[in-house]
Structure 1
């Protein structure tokens, strides 16, 4: 089917009582998550771990799979020979750039949008001369290789000035203050649907669209910290996710889509909050072990914090992060291994790599 643009400023989704209840549950879960994040002494410390999980899941939804352990072990500052891992790390960089942008109070602009897409595909086979700009070719969704365009499951708007104008309209809408007219959860559901149906880029639309769910909630003040991970829930329900999106285009079924979306935010917020609490508990326990071992508090505690954000790491990374000599970093890691805080990590595959097993147990469950 072909895409028919929806003027979001004139859309009022007909929501049932069941859907309104789902939206209310989502708002409550998001508020609880944000309350937990605000209590963290250093919210950014736990952001990388949750963002790594989001990066891995959102990429898997698009058919790019890299095991979470490999994502956690990868160094963003180094070139990656594995293209799938490179794509996942590109998402990490793009998301951090987007969070910093919104954190500075800057508006959601076309410049930000195309920069995110360019960062996402950089150095991969998806990078083309059209990267970093609104697409100039027709794309289709759900078509077999070599099949006719008209046989595709979904056909977004053709390229051209009208597509770029609609992308700008979408950005204006998601960046607007809807006041009491539209609940932020409903607005995020509407915004996500519209972006995915516009499909403004040759590649990366799904990942950028799911990233914008969090950006929109940050922009509207529903979240103050970008700790929410949404893609694991949607990845586990891939067929339903695409079916609900298509249901809006084919039958105007906003009700089922908004309810599905709200249920996803609720489950994701509850799971993310539980993971944050568990990581904080692990952090406290590891620091107690450091104290019991009689180690110097300053650098040893800093290494615990580092391992919380990057639970698989090399001594060189510790050297750079803590600003100590390699010999000091190596000795400090050895002391924390002896104290039962760290452990050697699969040395057959990784060169002088260590991990925080208790942190990994939370992230990989």
Structure 2
């Protein structure tokens, strides 16, 4: 039987079993509050959690099929002129765009509310100069799209709403976004699922949908910084993630999706908190160690540069840390001699050396902490 286009029901959905969800709602909100407490204790979360943002971009893009790793992205940014294959470059460009879109949103939310116009702006950044740039960046689609194993709509697993139904569906979605609900995490779970099911763009819907999670949490005041990383859980549980979304469109099973998403928030709040704490502990340790090792007035500037970019070229380090070149070269040598940084590629001729900060990378990429 041919799948029919999804017809979104008005939000909030009818039939949410609030009583059944109460334990999950309580657990997820407690876990999120603990995570936010950790965020509030970090003196400069945008600096210290910068590698986690890049890792979120890596994992969210991986759900869509990219193969690039965190190390691939950071090595490319350290030495963008190094030869690299076209496919790898396209993967890395998508990941960098994802991070750039999130950063754009963070700046925008200082002065405006989250709305559909901002979502379109983020989509434009996401697809800029990448594989999706020919797929109407920033524009709601005017064609019928579908998800399937081949190019035949007759074989589709899922068909989003018809183009003529998008305006009403997105208007209802935006009204629900800006309205209230009994619990914000349930509201968020509905908004995320409905956005991905509406599939309003020709490309990038899943990535924008995952990006909305920290932005809505921040916009609704549940976290003090828009830094919440959901993609590790969704990537690890990808088959269930897709099945629960499909069950909403196929069976109207909102309760199954809400239960899944609340558990995802709880699990990932704990994992994010452990990583953020480990990064803060490492920073506090290095705040003692790096000045002792370098005996330099530039020790703190050097330390901040290491935490912002845990794989870097010597040239990038000079620029990031804003340290005179001779002093910066001496600091790098001392950090290398004491095993704080490791050489990934020696410099030669006009090519700068590439270094890594292994302990920060291990925390960032660690699946379990």
Give TM-score, length-normalised by structure 2. 0.90
Give the match's secondary structure for 1:164: helix
Is the Cα contact below 8 Å between 2:135 and 2:202 reproduced in 1?
A: no
Deviations 1:219-272 (CA, angstroms, capped at 9, x unpaired): 110111122110010001111001111111222211111110011011111001
Q: Which runs of 5+ in 1 are unaligned?
A: none
What is the Cα deviation at residue 118 of structure 1? Answer: 1.4
Is the Cα contact below 8 Å between 1:61 and 1:238 reproduced in 2?
A: yes
Aligned ranges 1:190-205 → 2 under 5 Å:
190-205=190-205
What is the Cα deviation at residue 294 of structure 1? Answer: 5.2
What is the Cα deviation at residue 359 of structure 1? Answer: 0.9
RMSD of aligned Cα (Å): 2.2
Q: Which runs of 5+ in 2 are unaligned?
A: none
CA distance in structure 1 between the partners assigned to 2:104 and 2:244 by the alignment: 30
- Deviating runs (4+, > 4 A) in structure 1? 76-81
Q: How many residues align?
A: 356
Q: Which of 132, 136, 139 in structure 2 is aligned with 1:133?
A: 139
What is the Cα deviation at residue 78 of structure 1? Answer: 5.6
Q: Which of 83, 88, 93 in structure 1 is aligned with 2:100?
A: 93
Give the match's secondary structure for 2:298: helix
Give the match's secondary structure for 1:328: helix
Give the match's secondary structure for 1:133: coil
CA distance in structure 2 between the partners assigned to 1:154 and 1:96 by the alignment: 31
Give TM-score, length-normalised by structure 1. 0.91
Question: Closer, same or farther in 2 for the Cα pair 1:171/1:32, shift >3 Å?
Answer: same
CA distance in structure 2 between the partners assigned to 1:25 and 1:248 by the alignment: 23
CA distance in structure 2 between the partners assigned to 1:258 and 1:278 by the alignment: 30
CA distance in structure 2 between the partners assigned to 1:134 and 1:347 by the alignment: 47
What is the Cα deviation at residue 105 of structure 1? Answer: 4.0
CA distance in structure 2 between the partners assigned to 1:257 and 1:193 by the alignment: 8
Is the Cα contact below 8 Å between 1:98 and 1:215 reproduced in 2?
A: yes
Q: Which of 142, 146, 153 in structure 1 is aligned with 2:151?
A: 146
Question: Closer, same or farther in 2 for the Cα pair 1:213/1:16, shift >3 Å?
Answer: same
Give the match's secondary structure for 2:355: strand
Question: Closer, same or farther in 2 for the Cα pair 1:202/1:53, shift >3 Å?
Answer: same
Question: Closer, same or farther in 2 for the Cα pair 1:129/1:45, shift >3 Å?
Answer: closer
Aligned ranges 1:103-142 → 2 under 5 Å:
104-128=110-134, 130-141=136-147
Give the match's secondary structure for 1:345: strand
Deviations 1:189-244 (CA, angstroms, capped at 9, x unpaired): 00011101110001000000011111111111011112211001000111100111
Question: Closer, same or farther in 2 for the Cα pair 1:76/1:175, shift >3 Å?
Answer: farther
CA distance in structure 2 between the partners assigned to 1:336 and 1:228 by the alignment: 31
Q: Which of 173, 176, 185 in structure 1 is aligned with 2:176?
A: 173
Is the Cα contact below 8 Å between 1:130 and 1:136 reproduced in 2?
A: no
